[in-house]
Amino acid sequence: MGLRARRAVVVSLAIGAAVLGGAGLARADGGVRISPASGPEGSSYDIDVDCATPPALANAHTQDGPDQGTIAAFVPDDVTEVAPSTWRVTRQAGTTDEIWWAECDGTNVGQDRFDAESPHLWFGPRPFCCFSPLVGRTTVEGTDCPAGTTPTVEVLVDGLDIIYVSQPSIDEHGDWTVELPKPVGDLAMTVRASCGDVTYAELRATTTSTSSTSSSTSSSTTSSTTTSTPAAGPSPATPVRTEPGYTG
């Protein structure tokens, strides 16, 4: 059988928090394979699907990616049969991890995750539905710590001489979560964090907006994959009083 180029449907979806958070995900689940499994922003990766007919592919942004809690329009995309009954889509990495899954003739054949190596901070948790930049943001989330490292996270609240400090565990993707002292929008605060050779750009929350000061830096391309066991829930930050007169 000759190799064919076909049109297939690629759907960008936001799905339940358990899937978006990676709970229960296995690499190369079923007939979906991603190669390479990780890479920096702008690098290319392939999604291969084993299917007798052109598959229907779906894509979910994770972390602070777009389309959080919305279903985007169906987008036609070229899918090439690179071997008998093996179909391929090539994509460029963004700043967030991506979950891909596929159906063959209406049957789910598996899912896999691409790990974008792009260390940054964002305010979470990711909403289950109906994206809002401020409502319900009660955590600070960090991505892509090097394997075997422990983050140090500091939350400085404007007008207080207290710094909230936490050292959370990282998950298998090098990501971590820390509870904020108050939800975003209730306090003006600045988050500083680092892990290994990664120093994150500061993340700022005011009572009306959030901002990141600059790009995160790293002097190494060490993979974020690790066998560290993630904490059962977000790590609470511990308040530490600073020297008298400190204003944040």
- DSSP assignment of 129-174 equals SS--SSTT--EEEE--PPTT---EEEEEETT-SEEEEE-PPP-TTS
**CATH 2.60.40, domain 5-117, yes or no:** yes
CA 50/CA 108 separation, integer angstroms: 11
Domain ranges of the chain: 5-117, 121-241
CA 32/CA 88 separation, integer angstroms: 10
H or E stretch at 46? strand 44-50
H or E stretch at 104? strand 98-104
CA 28/CA 44 separation, integer angstroms: 18
pTM of the predicted model as reported, rounded to 2 decimal places: 0.70
CA 24/CA 7 separation, integer angstroms: 31
Q: What pLDDT score was predicted for residue 232?
A: 43
Q: What pLDDT score was predicted for residue 97?
A: 92
Q: Which residues of the chain have pLDDT under 70?
A: 1-30, 65-78, 127-135, 208-248
Q: What pLDDT score was predicted for residue 26?
A: 35
Give which of 153, 247, 166 is closest to 192, Cα–Cα: 153
- Residue burial 174-199, b: 16+ Cβ < 10 Å; e: rest: bbbbbbbbebbbebebbbbbbbbebe
Q: What pLDDT score was predicted for residue 17?
A: 32
